[in-house]
Amino acid sequence: MPRSSLVRTLACTALFAAPLALAPSHSLQAQAASGGAPVVDVKTLAEIHVAITAVNDSADARQAQAKNKTGEAQHELAVKKRELIAEVLKARGLTDSAYQRQRFMVSTDVELRAQFDSLVAKMTGAPLPGRVAAPVAPGFVAASALPPGMVGTHIGHVTTSFVDTPEKVGLLPLAFSEAQVASQHAALATRATSDLAAMKLHAGHVLHAVDPTVVTTGPGKGFGVKRAALGVAQHIELAAKEPGASPNVKIHTTHIATAARSTAARVDQVVALAKKIQETNDVKEAATLTGQLASLASQLAAGADTNADGRIDWGNGEGGLQQAQEHITLLLAGEKK
């Protein structure tokens, strides 16, 4: 198929598959510019989700066709898919980073998620997913839900309780808590872009939350995202090394550990940006760096769609704490079968 025909066909199919027209909406960006508190526009997120799903489904189907198995065709289809996803977000007045932050907020709030699922069900005709009880905190799993033996003990250090953490909480819930503090203070810095001292103050608070060995006092728990994330990787891998570990455990521990280590690597990027803010005497430079810091800090929990395919995977450096949590859920579900 000629290149122009291939691209045109994909675009038409994907847009036709989307069950709604996306009218421009700039409410979230306007709110962010005015410095207001983040508000989740659940209807917008549901519309975007349905539209991106249509783009992905159409592109995946075409990539699977025998006539499109050439390297050139696969590349063209991948490029066009990224373009169509970018157009979906642009039509709703959202950047990718803003969309990912809003999506994470919905995924970790049971009431917002219920609204989201209900809207998606109405738009697509798909049945509502089953409701589950909200956990005490993101990443938390009750001890009664863990597998028996040392496999469950090591998983419990990740999800339930660990002796070396503040209040003996699990390493993953603690990582989520510290990441939330970092993201909040990075966002506060973006509201003070004309005040160099305030930006430096909040940069210090971010540093304390992600790595208190760099800044020893602040609003965090004193443990840090990096130490907690590396602890998640270490203890989940100990579970996989136990003699009684099932193939299911071994598969998902790889996914969990990889996402956790990607989070720890992202902490290093956060630290570098925050240090630059503290070191500069240029207000404009600090303001630019502050915007970058806020985006990166939000990715500690949410992960990042680095290859722009509309989804965040546990691998390829994309994974965050949320992807680690998702695969813990899959791991535990597999142990019940």
Please tell me the distance from the alpha carbon of residue 257 to that of residue 263, in angstroms, as a whole number.
Answer: 10
Greater model confidence, 33 or 216: 216
Q: Would residue 133 count as lying in a domain?
A: no
**Residue 149 shares a structural domain with residue 274:** yes
User: Alpha-carbon distance 239 to 259, whole Å?
Assistant: 16
Counting the structural domains of the chain, the total is 2
In this structure, are 94 and 157 located in the same domain? no
For residue 166, being part of any structural domain is answered with yes
Question: Do 63 and 167 lie in a common domain?
Answer: no
Report pLDDT for 4.
42
Residues 111 and 208 in one domain: no
- Alpha-carbon span 208 to 216, nearest angstrom: 6
Point out the domain boundary residue: 90, 124, 158.
124
Q: Taking Cα atoms as reference points, which of 20, 183, 34 lies closest to residue 92?
A: 20
Instruction: Note whether 50 and 177 are same-domain residues.
Output: no
In which residue are the tokens 């045109």 written?
8
CA 213 to chain centre: 25
Same structural domain for residues 91 and 9? yes
The answer to whether the beta carbons of residues 156 and 332 sit under 8 Å apart is no
Instruction: Single out the residue in 95, 124, 153 at which a domain terminates.
Output: 124
163-182 per-position pLDDT tens digit: 999 999 999 999 999 999 99
Check: CB of residue 243 under 8 Å from CB of residue 307: no
Q: Is the same domain home to 22 and 169?
A: no
Do 159 and 54 share a structural domain? no
Band the pLDDT of 8: cuts 50, 70, 90: very low
Asked whether residue 115 is domain-assigned, the answer is yes
Q: What is the pLDDT of residue 239?
A: 96
Cα-atom radius of gyration of the chain, to the nearest Å? 21
What confidence tens digit (pLDDT) does each residue in 22-51 have? Answer: 333 333 344 444 444 346 788 888 889 888
Kindly state whether residue 136 falls inside one of the protein's structural domains.
no
Q: Residues with Cβ < 8 Å from 34, sequence gap 6 or more?
A: none
In a domain, 135, yes or no: no
Q: b/e per residue, 34-53, with b = 16+ CB within 10 A?
A: eeeeeebbbebbbbbbbbbb
Average pLDDT estimate for 71-91: 86
Angstrom distance (rounded) from CA 256 to CA 270 = 21
Closest CA to 185 of 199, 172, 174: 199
- List the structure tokens of 89: 């977000």
Please say which residue of 69, 95, 124 terminates a domain. 124
Please check whether residues 13 and 95 belong to one and the same domain. Answer: yes
In this structure, is residue 134 part of a structural domain?
no
* One domain for residues 112 and 150: no
For residues 116 and 294, what is the distance between their CA atoms, to the nearest angstrom?
Answer: 25
Query: Which residue range forms the structural domain that includes residue 55?
Result: 3-124
Whether the per-residue pLDDT at 323 is higher than 80: the answer is: yes
Q: Are residues 118 and 147 in the same domain?
A: no
pLDDT band at 69 (very low <50, low <70, confident <90, very high): confident
Confidence tier at 66 by pLDDT (50, 70, 90): confident
Looking at the domain assignment, is residue 244 inside a domain? yes
Same-domain status, 156 and 295: yes
Output the CA torsion sign for 302, 308, 310, 313: negative
Asked if the structure places residue 82 within a domain, the reply is: yes
- Rounded CA gap, 334 and 155, in Å? 14
Reported as a pLDDT band with limits 50, 70 and 90, residue 317 is very high
Distance of CA 309 to the CA centre of its chain: 14
Q: Is the pLDDT of residue 99 over 90?
A: no
Q: Which helix (DSSP H) or strand (DSSP E) does residue 153 occupy?
A: helix 149-159
CA distance linking residue 40 with residue 67, whole number of Å: 42
Quick check: 54 pLDDT over 90?
no
